[in-house]
Amino acid sequence: MSEVQRQSAKTLNMLIAALGGEGGGVLTNWLIEVADRSGWHCQSTSLAGVAQRTGATIYYLEFIQREQGAAYPVMSLFPAQGDIDVAVTSEIAEAGRMLSRGFISPDKTTLISSSHRVFGITEKSATTDGTADSAAIAAMARRYAQRFIHFDINALVKRHGTVISAGLFGAIAGAGVLPFDAAIYLEVIAEGKGASANRAAFLESFERAQRGDDESGEVADSRNLPFQLPVPSSPAGRVLIPVIADFPEALHEVLFHGAQRLVDYQDVAYAQEYLTLVRELLGASFMAQAPGALGEAARWLALWMAFEDIPRVAQLKLRPDRESQIRAEVQSDSDQPLYINEFFHPRLEEIVAILPANLGRWLYRSPIMSKAIAAFLGPRTLRTDTVSVALVLRILAAFRKIRRGSLGYAHERDMIDRWLKALHAADNPELAQALADCGRMVKGYGATRHRTTTRLMAIVDAVLTGEVNAAEAVIGLREAAMQGEEQEPFDVARAKWIATAS
């Protein structure tokens, strides 16, 4: 390439960010081998991230052409802002981190990234929606990179049964950012384990990068396509789908998925109960007048009614397809032994929650019995692939049959009924919308769930008692409630809005 040839006395600098298990080290070694076979020096360093998804491993490579008789050049071990020719990231949020750290320059940097997401720990643990905005990151990349090539490389390599390093290797070759022949890339990737799958992924990725793929307008968003109820093909479907069809068409999608979830969670009768509750909301004075309020309420109601308890956790761990999903995640062949060690931390509250309501209350209030039960609890690691643990999980999953009589169900249903009562009582569309949006507060487990539901009930009760009567107040209280663990911001906001209402 003319740009590279012009810089024969200057290094070409590349930065790669890859997550654990994605083959970042393999990709680096491939690039080093390509450079060596092409008559170039390549020096690489890496800085490992912490765990699988709290930070990517950063690989820094410098390339320089060999010169006859010249001494081995001295190259840098660390990347410098404004001096990166090529940046490669294995998912779009890492591209955002490259941008924020100043490594992307509009006058020289080609940014290559997969457009898929792997959510980070901070995104998953955020009380509110903590996910990064992929569209905003892509827009910033187009603005600040000299070239931005991105497409779903993860989906591409999965089709070929390999890992993302092969797709990134093809994208680097196809983008023409290094002065090496495509034939040499192919020679290198054709060696070693999985060569056939790697070559296929390389070639498809090469072709897409060569034409400068940018997914911004490539595929129509499927969410914009109208949803159509499927033809009933199961006993549950024949009961529920005709009921859903009687609702306004705008609600069909959320009601279908909500009912489907609740059948899996409990049974058809439970899903019918859910649809009855939504039908009652449809008749509330102001719910139908608030754009989107009924859909939001129906969505959060389905999620809340499928609250996770011990039977649900056991049920999910016993799914027939779970082993295949785990094998796909760890890239294990079907003939390889698979050992599944899982961490459990049952608490007293979760144990008594699955018991009949009266018994659960008595045990929880009894100091002697509480201490006796707690002695058998605490953190532990179990092999869930063993017969003995699978039998225990099957017994626990069977508790779903008596869930409606359990203490946990009684507690959750009381909160659900209070929230629904407040929605029915809303005397204007704005307040109905604000209360519907409060359903998003129900999340997490353990202390987090206790904190969020307690604050939600405080908002609901304030509305029902007339202490708070404006949508603005509900929104303000919700935002304060979701700020974090500290109680003070919520208490301050509550005192402010109650004083305003009075």
pLDDT mean values, one per 10 residues, the chain (502 residues): 48 89 87 95 81 67 88 84 92 90 93 89 72 88 93 92 92 94 93 87 94 58 67 92 93 95 95 96 77 89 94 91 81 81 87 93 92 87 90 93 94 96 90 92 83 93 89 92 86 84 64
HSE-CB at 380 with a 13 A cutoff on CA atoms is 10
Kindly state whether residues 82 and 169 are assigned to the same domain.
yes
Phi, psi of 41 (to 5 degrees): -85, 150
* Cβ atoms of residues 293 and 436 within 8 Å: yes
413 shares a domain with 383: no
CA 294/CA 271 separation, integer angstroms: 17
The verdict on 191 and 329 lying in the same domain is no
Are 145 and 89 part of one and the same domain? yes
- Looking at residue 480, its amino acid is A
Same domain assignment for residues 314 and 439: no
* CA–CA dist 452, 441 (Å, integer): 6
Helix axes 24-37, 164-175, angle to 10 degrees: 40
Place of tokens 């100043």: 102
In angstroms, the CA 86 to CA 108 distance is 8
Give residue for tokens 């899982």: 342
In the prediction, which pLDDT does 55 show? 58
Do 65 and 185 lie in one domain? The reply is yes
Q: What is the pLDDT of residue 220?
A: 37
Other Cβ atoms within 10 Å of 3 Cβ, number = 12
C-alpha span between 358 and 407 (Å, rounded): 7
175 and 32, same structural domain? yes
- Domain assignment of residue 234, yes or no: no
State how far the Cα of 290 lies from the Cα of 421, in Å rounded to an integer.
17
Is there a contact between 39 and 66 (Cβ–Cβ < 8 Å)? yes
Select from 217, 237, 256 the last residue of a domain: 217
CA distance 462 to 146: 54
Whole-number Å distance between alpha carbons of 55 and 48: 8
Is residue 465 within 8 A of residue 502, CB to CB? The reply is no
Is 267 domain-assigned?
no
Residues 196 and 317 occupy one common structural domain: no
Whether the CB-CB separation of 28 and 46 falls below 8 Å is answered with: yes
Identity of the residue numbered 74: V
Q: What is the CATH number of the domain that holds 173?
A: 3.40.920.10
3-state secondary structure of 239: helix
pLDDT of residue 215: 60
Which residue in 63, 10, 60 sits closest to 37, CA to CA? Answer: 63
Residue 61: strand pairing partners: 14, 44
Residue ranges making up the domain that contains 77: 2-217
Q: Indicate the SS3 state at residue 223.
A: helix
Q: Which of 155, 186, 217 is the last residue of a domain?
A: 217
Phi-psi region of 466 (alpha: psi -120 to 50; beta: other; left: phi over 0): left
190 domain residue, yes or no: yes
Q: Whole-angstrom Cα distance, residue 204 to residue 154? A: 12
Whether residue 386 sits in one domain with residue 373 = yes
For residue 461, give Cα distances in angstroms to 80, 465, 487, 493, 496. 56, 6, 17, 15, 16
Chain-centre distance of CA 427, in angstroms? 36
Assess if residue 302 is contained within a domain.
no
Determine the Cα–Cα distance for residues 154 and 165; give it in Å rounded to an integer.
9
Minimal CA–CA distance to 456: which of 414, 395, 428? Answer: 414
Split into its structural domains, the chain has a count of 3
Residue 384 placed within a domain: yes
Q: Which of 460, 427, 424 is nearest to 442 (CA)?
A: 460
Same domain, 26 and 146: yes
On whether residue 328 sits in a domain, the answer given is yes
pLDDT of residue 216: 53
Burial of 249 (0-12, 13-18, 19+ CB in 10 A): exposed
The answer to whether position 247 is within a domain reads no
Q: State both tokens at 148.
A: 């931005």
Instruction: Report the helix count and the strand count for the chain, using DSSP H and E.
Output: 24, 8
Q: Are residues 18 and 28 in the same domain?
A: yes
Q: Which of 186, 217, 248 is the last residue of a domain?
A: 217
Q: What share of the chain is helix, strand, coil (3-state, %, to 5)?
A: 55, 10, 35
Token couple for 301 = 């109601």
Rounded Cα distance, 90 and 97, in Å: 12
422 membership: H or E segment, kind and range? helix 407-425
Q: Are 393 and 383 in contact (CB under 8 A)?
A: no
User: Is 201 part of any domain?
Assistant: yes
Residues 366 and 482 in one domain: no
Query: What 3-state class would DSSP assign to 460?
Result: helix
Per-residue model confidence (pLDDT) at position 69? 75
- Asked if 111 and 170 count as a contact pair (C-beta separation under 8 A), the reply is no
